Amino acid sequence: MSATIEITPAESRRDVEIAREIFREYEAAIGIDLCFQSFEKELAELPGLYAPPKGRLYLLRIDGEVEGCIALRPSGEHDCEMKRLFVRPARRGAGAGRLLAERVIADARTIGYSRMLLDTLDSMQSAQRLYESLGFVDAEPYTHNPLTGVRYMQLDLRSMS
């Protein structure tokens, strides 16, 4: 029997709280203190910049259980940034991360953004392969990130069919 996968907006107070918990799991999973990104402020203000109409915050549910998340926020007038793509380790490898990414890419195009940005770490090889398969290419740094091994990527949303 195949799993039921749902990607739903985190709109209710409870969903935002769940998103906050998943964001904390994300931070623990990458093993990096995200204080340089004002992470605690981001958590306190959720949905913050991820709120519609220019942002998005989604939860991934598999068979009714929350197993991941993804967010989208504006980055300047015509650009947006994909943030916090996370699928719990036990659920990885089945395409859920791709579904999350495809959802925010489609939303970004609908909103009218021209380009999607993201940054990732050298250690996140499977994530980088996913981004490349979606059409992302290397980009110049667009934000401050003091970590070593950061890869900046971009996707031209106008060239997609």
Q: Is the pLDDT of residue 1 over 80?
A: no
Q: Which two tokens stand for residue 42?
A: 């981001």
Record the tokens describing residue 79, joined without a space: 């650009």
- Asked if the structure places residue 71 within a domain, the reply is yes
Greater pLDDT, 89 or 115: 115
96 falls within a domain:
yes
| pLDDT digit string, tens, across residues 120-150 | 988 888 899 999 999 999 999 988 777 677 8
Q: To the nearest 10°, the Cα dihedral for 124, 125, 130, 131? A: 70
**Which residues constitute the domain of residue 123?**
5-156
Average pLDDT, the chain: 90
Q: How far is CA 62 from CA 44, 47, 125, in A?
A: 26, 22, 24
- How many Å apart are CA 141 and CA 121, to the nearest integer? 13
pLDDT of residue 20: 92
In a domain, 61, yes or no: yes
Is residue 49 in a domain? yes
CA distance 58 to 16: 9
Angle at 14 between CA 66 and CA 5, to 5 degrees: 25
Return the CATH number at 112: 3.40.630.30
At 96, the amino acid letter reads A
Q: What angle do CA 117, 71, 11 make, to 5 degrees?
A: 150
Lowest-pLDDT range of 6-10, 28-32, 76-80, 89-93: 28-32
Within a domain: residue 17?
A: yes
Task: Evaluate whether 47 touches 35 at the Cβ level (below 8 Å).
Answer: no
146: three-class secondary structure by DSSP: coil
**Residue 161 falls within a domain, yes or no?**
no
For the stretch 31-65, pLDDT in tens is: 665 554 567 788 889 999 999 999 999 999 999 99
Report residue 157's pLDDT band, with 50, 70 and 90 as the boundaries: very high
pTM of the predicted protein model: 0.91
**pLDDT above 90 for 27:** no
How many C-beta neighbours within 10 Å does residue 145 have? 14
- Give the total number of structural domains in the chain: 1
Name the token pair of 152: 């900046």
